[in-house]
Amino acid sequence: MSQSFFAICPRGLEAVLGDELKRLGASTVRPEAGGVGFAGPLAIAYAANLHSRIASRILWQVGRRGYLTDQHLYDATQEVRWQDIMSPQQTLRVDVTASRSPLHSLEFAMLRIKDGIVDRLRELTGTRPSIDRSNPDVRVFAYLDSSTVTLYIDFSGEALFKRGWRADKGEAPLKENLAAGLLALSAWTPETPLADLFCGSGTIVIEAASIAARRPPGLNRHFSFEQLKGFDSHAWRKLKDAARAGIDDSVAATLTGSDISTRVVEQAVANAKLAGLQSWLDDGRLRFTPVDARLATPVATSGTIVSNPPYGEQSAPRSASVPDMMRNVGDRLKQQFAGWEAWFLTSDRELPKQMRLQETRKTLLFNGPLECRFFRFALVAGGYRPRAKSSE
């Protein structure tokens, strides 16, 4: 039976997430602000949790109706067959988000929805489930717009961008699903050499290695849907077995990450090992080196750079030297990386001017709450002129 789902993702990645879900077999794929609606059997949502690199969370839609008052929210819960979803012995958490809701208190709205669920289960079973805000067995999300309440069951549990390998997030970590989104937007493929000149904890190139090896990001973790009534353990086992069989750790690739900090590079290496990429480090397909981006050299005649360079909001106090540094990086790219293309994620709209490069594409993205641009630069040698030395 086909069900309705919603996959949450970082804003700006809705289109590439929609493409990913289509490849997994989802139907009725509808990119919306902040995520993608889709349909399919429960196994499609299992597969999305297992394979999606871009989603932050998968939600199962179990109820939807119009509302005007808090009582209507309570009534909406009575239309859901909670007894088929959870047992009263399981713990529950309810969260509410809203956009243009006419209700004055979301806290009271949450209480009415919670009361509706537990009252319905008590009426049917004689037992009322307990509430657990920190580690619930079942988590319900309610979304209120101006006239409609939609009820969802969390299928994921811990956020999907948590791959389980990060030992140290570093000073300004890039979430793994945003890194995967950057790689998708750049149209990078494993046959193309990839470099990250500001690798930090290694997220972009570690994600790239996992993509190249076809390692499902959710293979070694548990999900909330496994605790729901009606969970199809046989279908889930088949999905995982097929995913394991598809891994190819022998694939050829050239992936390099560099950073000015030796300590940061050491942490990136440690993260790669935790991600199961020891063999990639051993044979050099994945390399991390302590190199100033202003002195970087290419490992091939052409390739793709995907980087998240430092920008003001990533550090406090704001570093006045960042624009000068990026100007030098731009010079280096024109000197050494002709034939490559470079993609930089930044919240600084002046980055192209700082680097004295003309972007050929820019995509609006959000790194957490930060509004950013993902700039593409086609690097050619002809436009480079060395800067005049200062007489001061």
Beta pairing class for 255-259 and 138-144: unpaired
Angle between helices 176-185 and 203-212 (to 10 degrees): 70
The encoded tokens of residue 72 equal 């209507």
Residues carrying CATH 3.30.2130.30, the chain: 3-154
Per-residue pLDDT of the chain (392 residues; tens, 9 = 90+): 899 999 999 999 999 999 999 999 999 999 999 999 999 999 999 999 999 999 999 999 999 999 999 999 999 999 999 999 999 999 999 999 999 999 999 999 999 999 999 999 999 999 999 999 999 999 999 999 999 999 999 999 999 999 988 876 555 579 999 999 999 999 999 999 999 999 999 999 999 999 999 999 999 999 999 999 999 999 999 999 999 999 999 999 999 999 999 999 999 999 999 999 999 999 999 999 999 999 999 999 999 999 999 975 444 344 458 999 999 999 999 999 999 999 999 999 999 999 999 999 999 999 999 999 999 999 987 544 444 343 33
Question: What fold characterizes domain 3-154?
Answer: VC0802-like (3.30.2130)
Q: Quote the CA–CA distance of 63 and 4 in Å, as a whole number.
A: 10
The encoded tokens of residue 308 equal 């998240």
Taking alpha carbons only, the member of 296, 266, 288 closest to residue 170 is: 266
Q: State the pTM of this model.
A: 0.92
Torsion sign over Cα 172, 364, 48, 78: positive
How many beta carbons lie within 10 A of that of residue 139, not counting itself? 22
At a CB cut-off of 8 Å and minimum separation 6, what does 391 contact? none
Question: Which pairs with CB-CB distance under 8 Å and at least 24 residues apart come from 110-114?
Answer: 110/142, 112/70, 112/71, 112/73, 112/74, 113/73, 113/74, 113/76, 113/77, 113/140, 113/142, 113/151
* Second CATH level (architecture) for the domain 176-213+250-378: 3-Layer(aba) Sandwich (3.40)
Angle, CA 52 vertex, CA 187 and CA 182 arms, to 5°: 30
Taking alpha carbons only, the member of 12, 381, 5, 36 closest to residue 182 is: 12
Taking alpha carbons only, the member of 309, 320, 316, 311 closest to residue 344 is: 309
What 8-state DSSP symbol labels residue 82?
A: G
Q: What's residue 392's pLDDT?
A: 34
Residues carrying CATH 3.40.50.150, the chain: 176-213+250-378
Q: Quote the CA–CA distance of 292 and 385 in Å, as a whole number.
A: 21
Q: What's residue 316's pLDDT?
A: 39
Taking alpha carbons only, the member of 4, 84, 81 closest to residue 41 is: 4
Question: Which pairs with CB-CB distance under 8 Å and at least 24 residues apart come from 337-340?
Answer: 337/296, 337/298, 337/305, 337/379, 338/379, 338/380, 338/381, 339/301, 339/302, 339/379, 339/380, 340/298, 340/302, 340/303, 340/304, 340/305, 340/379
Q: What's residue 172's pLDDT?
A: 56
Q: What's residue 311's pLDDT?
A: 78
